[in-house]
């Protein structure tokens, strides 16, 4: 297992270049199946999750040529429609491939993605939506097979504005017959990026970013080149890590409008911000002020920033309340922070955080992607050394994490453990 070793107590100072968005790249990589041709993608983050998607595409018959942050995908020779179970279980977000495979080839086989460390992660909204599109679904022992003669576009109202279900409906219906209208659609910026990508391919989609999305089916989609949007959660992560360590940072290559709720809370915590067109500068106060957070679907405060804020608020002055309203089990990481001296009480959906200055290093283990990143932030603040195990979780979503933090003055190293 790989470990991260951090000598804490250093202020983060300097510039950080934010990578392309993991959560925009994954559905767009899946969408490359739809044109049965070539898709050239730029500003793709070189992380575990994008590598996994390439592996699955190759299993299906795609030819994938990747350099650092560019990938060329040829989907003209796709001849398999089954997502391998082991890869599906390793990365639950690969369920997004189902919509693309069915949309193009009218059949797909995949397994239940299984839960992860932030909740059961059901896919009932995906499956119900597929059935509404005329897709016949049969299940046996955890395997799900989907078949249809054509995709019959229709009206779909989502019980919950699920990001993945919204994306899967867009992918499954853009080559369908007629028009699909999604109501109560997710409004995340990554959905807008997917719409822009699909329309660049020749799809006819409008409304992404609002809660009503319309997809008019077309006959064919063409070759495409596209630049992935910046990662709003990575941007928020570096701003919070800097705020926690009392430093100053300029986060470059970002879309400030995507992180308004995060910036508002950082200002409320007494950080000084200078917001540019495609950058944000932050100067931390001597000591952060406690703030209260409630996570909500976009444009509310993002659930992916919840653990990052909890870590930052463990050293704020005062008591903070954080309420997690999107996932049912997203506080697993807090027990590891408590072992470092953080004062956190979990009561139902709420974490009560009593700020302290006494955070000390110890050996801990990551439990999931964003919880693991919260541990890195705690380690940056802690006195002395912290060793974080199971960092494969963290490397799923943060490109060049050790290099970017080292460039900001952190004393951090990666160690391939036994």
The C-alpha atoms of residue 98 and residue 133 are separated, in whole angstroms, by 13
Which of the following is catalytic: 62, 116, 240, 271?
A: 116
Q: Interface with ligand EPZ by CB under 6 A: which range of 11-19, 156-164, 265-273, 342-350?
A: 156-164
Pick the binder of ligand EPZ from 303, 314, 320, 386 (CB under 6 A): 303
Pick the binder of ligand EPZ from 9, 37, 119, 209 (CB under 6 A): 119
Partners of 320 in beta bridges: 353
Q: Which positions from 170 through 189 interact with ligand EPZ, judged by CB under 6 A?
A: 186
Our finding on whether 165 is near ligand EPZ (CB under 6 A) is yes
Question: Is 271 an active-site residue?
Answer: no
Our finding on whether 299 is near ligand EPZ (CB under 6 A) is no
Pick the binder of ligand EPZ from 20, 217, 361, 397 (CB under 6 A): 397
Our finding on whether 393 is near ligand EPZ (CB under 6 A) is no
DSSP code of residue 174: T
Q: Is the dihedral of CA 98, 100, 103, 109 positive or negative?
A: negative
Our finding on whether 42 is near ligand EPZ (CB under 6 A) is no
Pick the binder of ligand EPZ from 327, 331, 333, 398 (CB under 6 A): 327
| Residue closer to ligand EPZ, measured from CB, 13 or 324 | 324
Our finding on whether 124 is near ligand EPZ (CB under 6 A) is yes
Tokens of 210: 């609002």
The C-alpha atoms of residue 387 and residue 8 are separated, in whole angstroms, by 11
Pick the binder of ligand EPZ from 122, 142, 178, 417 (CB under 6 A): 122
Helix-helix angle 189-201:22-31, to 10 degrees: 30
| Residue closer to ligand EPZ, measured from CB, 8 or 397 | 397
On the 0-12 / 13-18 / 19+ scale of CB atoms within 10 A, 128 is: middle
Bond before 299 cis per omega within 30 degrees: yes
The C-alpha atoms of residue 317 and residue 307 are separated, in whole angstroms, by 18
CB-based contact 185:191 (threshold 8 Å): yes
CB of 248 to ligand EPZ, least distance (A): 26
CB of 10 to ligand EPZ, least distance (A): 26
Q: Interface with ligand EPZ by CB under 6 A: which range of 4-12, 116-124, 257-265, 310-318?
A: 116-124
- What is the full DSSP assignment across 241-264? HHHHHT-EEEEES--GGGGHHHHH
Q: Interface with ligand EPZ by CB under 6 A: which range of 161-169, 235-243, 279-287, 377-385?
A: 161-169
Our finding on whether 123 is near ligand EPZ (CB under 6 A) is yes
| Residue closer to ligand EPZ, measured from CB, 128 or 383 | 128
| Residue closer to ligand EPZ, measured from CB, 22 or 48 | 22
CB of 158 to ligand EPZ, least distance (A): 9
CB-based contact 229:190 (threshold 8 Å): yes
Cα distances (Å, whole numbers) of residue 225 to 28, 41, 118, 186: 11, 6, 34, 25
DSSP code of residue 303: G
Range 43-57 burial, b when 16+ CB lie within 10 A, else e: bbbbbbbbebbbebb
CB-based contact 214:180 (threshold 8 Å): yes
| Residue closer to ligand EPZ, measured from CB, 101 or 163 | 163
Applying CB under 6 A, the site for ligand EPZ has a residue count of 24
Tokens of 80: 């398999």
| Residue closer to ligand EPZ, measured from CB, 158 or 291 | 158
Our finding on whether 164 is near ligand EPZ (CB under 6 A) is yes
CB-based contact 19:69 (threshold 8 Å): yes
Q: Which positions from 22 through 41 interact with ligand EPZ, judged by CB under 6 A?
A: 22-23, 26
The C-alpha atoms of residue 25 and residue 37 are separated, in whole angstroms, by 18
Give the binding site for ligand EPZ (CB under 6 A): 22-23, 26, 93, 119, 121-126, 160, 162-165, 186, 303-304, 326-327, 369-370, 397
Active-site positions read: 116
């Amino acid at each position: 297992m790989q470990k991260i070793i951090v000598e804490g107590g250093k202020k983060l100072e300097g510039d950080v270049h934010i990578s392309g968005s993991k959560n925009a790249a994954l559905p767009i990589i899946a969408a490359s199946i739809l044109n049965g041709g070539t898709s050239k993608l730029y500003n793709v983050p070189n992380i575990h999750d994008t590598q996994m998607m390439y592996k699955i595409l190759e299993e299906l018959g795609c030819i994938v040529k990747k350099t650092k942050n560019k990938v060329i995908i040829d989907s003209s020779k796709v001849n398999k429609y089954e997502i391998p179970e082991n890869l599906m279980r390793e990365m639950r977000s690969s369920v997004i491939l189902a919509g693309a495979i069915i949309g193009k080839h009218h059949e797909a086989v995949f397994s239940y993605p299984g839960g992860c460390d932030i909740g059961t992660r059901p896919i009932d909204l995906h499956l119900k939506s597929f059935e509404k599109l005329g897709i016949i679904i049969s299940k046996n022992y955890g395997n799900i097979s989907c078949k249809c003669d054509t995709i019959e576009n229709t009206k779909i109202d989502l019980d919950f504005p699920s990001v993945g279900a919204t994306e899967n409906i867009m992918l499954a219906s853009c080559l369908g017959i007629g028009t699909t209208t999604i109501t109560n659609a997710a409004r995340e910026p990554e959905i807008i990026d997917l719409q822009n990508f699909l329309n660049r391919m020749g799809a006819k989609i409008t409304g992404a970013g609002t809660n009503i999305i319309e997809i008019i089916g077309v006959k064919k989609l063409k070759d495409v080149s596209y630049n992935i949007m910046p990662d709003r959660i990575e941007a928020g992560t570096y701003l919070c890590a800097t705020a926690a360590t009392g430093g100053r940072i300029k986060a470059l290559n970002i879309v400030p409008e995507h992180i308004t709720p995060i910036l508002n809370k950082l200002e409320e915590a007494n950080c000084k911000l200078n917001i540019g067109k495609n950058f944000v500068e932050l100067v931390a106060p001597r000591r952060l002020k406690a703030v209260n957070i409630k996570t909500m679907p976009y444009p509310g405060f993002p659930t992916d920033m919840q653990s990052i804020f909890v870590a930052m608020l463990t050293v704020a002055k005062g008591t903070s309340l954080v309420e997690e309203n999107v996932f049912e089990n997203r506080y697993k990481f807090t027990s590891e922070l408590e072992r470092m001296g953080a004062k956190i009480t979990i009561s139902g959906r709420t974490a009560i955080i009593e700020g302290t200055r006494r955070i000390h290093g110890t050996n801990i283990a990551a439990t999931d992607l964003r919880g693991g990143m919260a541990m890195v932030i705690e380690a940056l603040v802690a006195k002395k050394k912290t060793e974080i195990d199971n960092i494969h979780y963290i490397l799923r979503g943060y490109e060049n994490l050790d290099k970017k933090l080292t460039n900001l003055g952190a004393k951090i190293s990666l160690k391939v453990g036994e």
